Structure 1
Amino acid sequence: MQPKRYSGYKSFSYLKPGEDYKEFRLSPELQRVDSSPVAVTSEQEERVKRIFQEQLIISLHDHCFIAPEDLSEFMEFRRWGRDFTGYEGLSISGLDAVFDNLMNGTAMITSRGGWKWTDIIHDLGIRLSDIDHQDMVVLCRTTEDIVNAKKNGQIAFIVSLEGAAMIENELDRIDILYGLGVRCLGIAYSEGNQLGGGLKEPRDGGLTTFGRQAVRRMNRLGMAIDVSHSGDQTSLDTIEVSDKPVFITHAGARQLWNSNRLKPDDVIRACAEKGGVIGIEAAPHTTISVRNPRHSIESFMEHFEYCVNLVGIDHVAFGPDVLFGDHVGLHTALSDALSIGASRGHLEYEKVPFVDGLENPAEAFPNIVRWLVTHGYSDDDIAKAVGGNVMRVLKEVWYR
């Protein structure tokens, strides 16, 4: 892929490890495991390169940080409040923009439960402080920032939060988050909150009165709304109440795999009918299927094609939800904290050590585009799926 203007900067290199913060050994950013690239001919690879040069490449959902190598240290690592961005990996990812969701559910500086207002602000401020000390990744506030990032060999960093529990019952906190750079906010992250129901709740009562007020506030501010981790009824209510299109930033089709973590057809259709977009998810053991029970790029793309057939190419994109490090091990370490088992419904599946072809943000979109090229998709359709559809929604949803 066309490399970005990377200077070699490493996170927090303006500070002294061991003096300013506790040092942890981090996972390798690249070639941590033997993940397989999608096979293409030399002619097809030239086409792939041209697509990356000419089209906007936008990830609708990722976590571009580097996990510690020893995941038994993860909670202590997070309590120090410093996520190290994988700048080297991002420099070869081909991305022009990424909806980065920090690690908001594990911002546990003051609480083991996470999602506290002070912790979220701490998480956001420290991450943006590090980003401000280099010039390849830039904070994104407008669609023009995305266009300029591509033009300048940079990556637009779109701050996103997966759930709104931290606003509690204070509507103006959405304005504060917007003012600090947040441009996409989820309604609920698995556990229900003041706005509505999450995926793991036994009953989803839908969007609350306060949740309806929050949706209207986000519309007026120009903040994108995400229902990926919201319950089905809360998702449908949010899409109905919103004046603007809504994102399902990272999910798949429940029709292919009966997991609460994936969306049923009626929610995907409602999202598309409102002009919204679903981003296909690749976090370990999510987008699998009866036909492809071993999670890989093949099962992931089966969910993509199902959604394209269901609602059309104009309403499907990619939100891989990957990171730099052992994602499978991280899910094991955080299973209780992030309600992973509960949100998936405790289904039986073949466990993999990593998702082949979609191991981290450096390889996800190059392999996605290669797969699309080798499966007969036109340049126009590829352009829509890898960035064009997301940009269309942002132009309608964001204030500018």
Structure 2
Amino acid sequence: MTKTTRIGNPKKYDGYKSFQYLEEGKDYQPYKLAKEIDRVPAYTYPVSEEEEEKVQDILGKEHIVSMHEHTFICPEDVSEIFEFRRQGRDWTAFEALSRSGLDVIFENFMDGTAMITSQAGWKWSDVIHDIGIRYSDIAHQDMVIKAERIDDLYRAKKEGKIAFVSSLEAATMIENELDRLDVLYGLGVRCMGIAYSEANQLGAGLREPSDGGLTVFGKQAVERMNKLGITIDVSHCGDQTALDTIETSTKPVSITHVGARSLWKTNRMKPDEVIKACAEKGGVIAIEAAPHTTLTHNHPSHSIESFMEHFEYVANLVGIDHVAFGPDTLFGDHVQLHSVFARQLSIGSSHKGPAFDKVEYVKGLENPAECFPNIARWLVKHGYGEEAIRKVMGQNILRLLEETWAK
């Protein structure tokens, strides 16, 4: 393939690096961070010159939305992650994001690993600290904006910027305090999961051996999130808790990063019953690419092909109007990060399943900057039409937010 001379959807990046307004060694402890660009060999999904022109046109004119990412940069030496996280200060890969083609990113911070005061994550004070520090950094630059209203999502593209939708993967930190949802909304949170791997006051996570479904308090929390305008996510919920949440909510519910259990039998994937229930309520199912998740028996080595097999399965199951992408990637050695955090994040118990080929990284889907141009290339290469691509690359998610956010 001949490289294009044009970059679709360029952003107005001025060279800002995280916390450059502070003094290294005085205001914070420095760590050598992973490369945000070309950490691994760059990979471009193979297409013709004509197809690449279509890809760049799509990136240029459509709203490109990722429903689940972590845009922070890991330490180069991943074994330093515990002490790095205890500092409570995460770097954002602004330069790489400027090349990503993305207009809207659901930013999920790293609160399952927020370990300022605890080794277990998800503590209220740590989550507030995490959100505040990240947005203090973001407030010192102009390319990324907080998305708090629908207009912000559309304004970002017009202005050559990226809208961050503040998201949390679980509501564990609210404990039994409903009003904490209001506090988080006031800080900008617009998407929230019910539970992570472990059960909490709202319901069961996907690692639990039994799932009693959404609790009474969980139902109250769902009602409050509906009233506030917080999009609900059930990606990490147990199956019954997910079904109860979908039934209880008066608004559509999302599964922001997931695959189909019919293709790969692990708890991390969702069964057809949950996927169908989500779609029938008007929700969106976004396909994830975190290492060793969306595998298939046709592609037991994680790649863009296995990832897109999950996409096509879900699209065929519930229709093109209910599927999108939430790759769930970050900047750094994601595979090694999973190994280091296997116990804290319950990865081992939630990913048990068939044998698979371990990869060092998922080629073509290695980080948030690489995913969407390659997804667009795959869709164009495989004959998807303009309207279908428009929907799955952003419009389905935007429609969901129109229905779930406060007007």
Instruction: Name the TM-score, length of structure 2 as normaliser.
Output: 0.97
1:383 pairs, out of 383, 390, 395, with 390
- 2:73 alignment partner in structure 1: 66
Number of the residue aligned with 1:154: 161
Q: Secondary structure at the match of 2:145?
A: strand
**Identical aligned residues as a percent:** 63
Q: Which amino acid aligns with 1:33?
A: V
Is 1:118 matched with 2:128? no
- 1:388 maps to a residue whose letter is Q
**Pair 1:8-2:19 in alignment:** no
- Shift in Å at residue 35 of structure 1? 4.2
Mean CA deviation greater in 218-227 or 28-37 = 28-37
Task: Tell me, yes or no, if structure 1 residue 138 matches structure 2 residue 145.
Answer: yes
AA of the residue aligned to 1:108: M
Q: CA deviation at 1:350?
A: 1.0
C-alpha distance in 1, partners of 2:159/2:317? 37
Q: What is the deviation of 1:54?
A: 1.3
Residues 249, 279 of structure 1: 8 Å contact kept: yes
Q: Which residue matches 1:50? A: 57
Work out whether residues 232 and 263 of structure 1, in 8 Å CA contact, stay in contact via their aligned partners in 2. Answer: yes
- CA distance in 2 between counterparts of 1:25 and 1:346 reads 35
Q: 2:372 aligns with which of 360, 365, 387?
A: 365
Native 8 Å contact 2:71 2:330 kept in 1: yes
State whether structure 2 residue 205 is matched by structure 1 residue 198: yes
Q: Note if contact 2:9-2:61 (Cα within 8 Å) is conserved in structure 1.
A: no
Matched, 1:178 2:185: yes
Deviations 1:89-125 (A, max 9, x none): 1000000000010001011101111110000000000
Total equivalences in the alignment:
400
Following superposition, the deviation at residue 348 of structure 1 comes to 2.5
Partner of 1:32: 39
Deviation at 1:265, TM superposition (A): 0.1
Task: Say whether 1:262 aligns with 2:262.
Answer: no
Closer, same or farther in 2 for the Cα pair 1:118/1:295, shift >3 Å?
A: same
User: Is 1:291 matched with 2:270?
Assistant: no
Question: How well do the aligned residues superpose, as a CA RMSD in angstroms?
Answer: 0.7
Deviation track 1:181-213 (CA, whole Å, cap 9, x = no partner) reads 000010000100000000000001100000000
**Residue 233 (structure 1) aligned to one of 236, 240, 244:** 240
CA distance, structure 2, for counterparts of residue 115 and residue 61 of structure 1: 18
Does the 8 A contact of 1:184 with 1:226 survive in 2? yes
Match of 1:210 in 2: 217
Quote how far apart the aligned CAs of 1:346 are.
5.3
CA-to-aligned-CA distance 1:227-250 (integer Å, 9 cap, x gap): 000000000000000000000000
**Post-superposition offset of 1:378:** 0.4
Distance 1:36 1:93 in 2: 13
Alpha-carbon distance between aligned partners in 2 of 1:93 and 1:220, rounded to the nearest angstrom: 33
Residues 268-283 of structure 1: pairs in structure 2 closer than 5 A:
268-283=275-290
Secondary structure at 1:348's aligned position in 2?
coil
Distance in 1 separating the partners of 2:42 and 2:139:
32
SS state at 1:127 partner:
helix
Q: Is the 8 A contact 2:265 2:353 kept in 1?
A: no
* 1:168 matched to 2:192: no
Distance 2:296 2:43 in 1: 20
After TM superposition, list the pairs within 5 Å mapping 1:322-361 onto structure 2. Answer: 322-345=329-352, 347-361=354-368
8 Å Cα contact 1:219-1:242 kept in structure 2: yes
Partner of 2:400: 393
Between 207-216 and 345-354, the greater mean CA deviation after superposition: 345-354
Distance 1:339 1:346, change over 3 A: farther
* Residue 91 of structure 1: aligned partner: 98
Aligned to 2:230: 223
Please report how far the alpha carbon of residue 142 of structure 1 lies from its aligned counterpart in structure 2 after TM superposition.
1.1
**The one of 245, 250, 253 aligned to 1:246:** 253
Distance 1:399 1:76 in 2: 39
Q: Unpaired segments of 5 or more residues in structure 1?
A: none
State which drifts further: 381-390 or 345-354. 345-354
Q: Give how far 1:2 is off.
A: 2.5
C-alpha separation in 1, matches of 2:9 and 2:171: 36
**Structure 2 letter corresponding to 1:256:** L
CA contact (8 A) 1:58 1:95 kept: yes
Distance 2:258 2:150 in 1: 24
Deviations 1:36-80 (A, max 9, x none): 210111111111111111111010000011110001100100000
Deviations 1:320-378 (A, max 9, x none): 00011110011011100100111112543210000011011111000000000000000
1:243 is matched by which residue type in structure 2?
Answer: T
Give the AA of the match of 1:24: Y
Matched-pair contact (CA < 8 Å) for 1:189–1:198: yes
- Could you tell me whether the CA contact under 8 Å between 1:35 and 1:359 is conserved in 2? no
TM-score by length of 1: 0.99
